[in-house]
Amino acid sequence: EIVMTQSPATLSVSPGERATLSCRASQSVSSNLAWYQQKPGQAPRLLIYGASTRATGIPARFSGSGSGTEFTLTISSLQSEDFAVYYCQQYNNWPPYSFGQGTKLEIK
């Protein structure tokens, strides 16, 4: 089973600044990685798939990069609505589809 590890657990950033979230896989997942955003009381929402492709309707300030075992989600200029929990997920070797434990992005 592939283990996904996200860092940091919590990230404090000021509005307007850049946020960089990391995700590491225990073995290569090629580019078969997705990022999800979850706001309090809401279901997760797909942000990025294929490591770097934005899902429909996702603003351009969200970008993903990486392949193999190291991945990054970058939010270029944080808006108030971006403060949430972010999860990475691999879908290269399944089952199971494994998620990271999440990074909470909070207002500094």
Partner 1 sequence: EVQLVESGGGLVQPGGSLRLSCAASGFPFTSAWMSWVRQAPGKGLEWVGRIKSGGTTDYAAPVKGRFTLSRDDSTNTLYLQMNSLKTEDTALYYCIAVITGTAAHPYFDSWGQGTLVTVSS
Rule CB under 8 A: which residues touch partner 1? 32, 34, 36, 42-46, 49-50, 55-56, 87, 89, 91, 94-102
In angstroms, the Cα distances linking 48 to 30, 72, 108 are 15, 11, 25
Number of helices (H), then strands (E), in the chain: 0, 11
Report the nearest approach of partner 1 to the CB of residue 98 (Å): 7
Of the pair 53, 77, the CB lying nearest partner 1 is at 53
Of the pair 19, 33, the CB lying nearest partner 1 is at 33
CB atoms within 10 A of CB 35: 29
Smallest Cα–Cα separation from 66: which of 99, 102, 33? 33
Report the nearest approach of partner 1 to the CB of residue 77 (Å): 25
Of the pair 26, 77, the CB lying nearest partner 1 is at 26
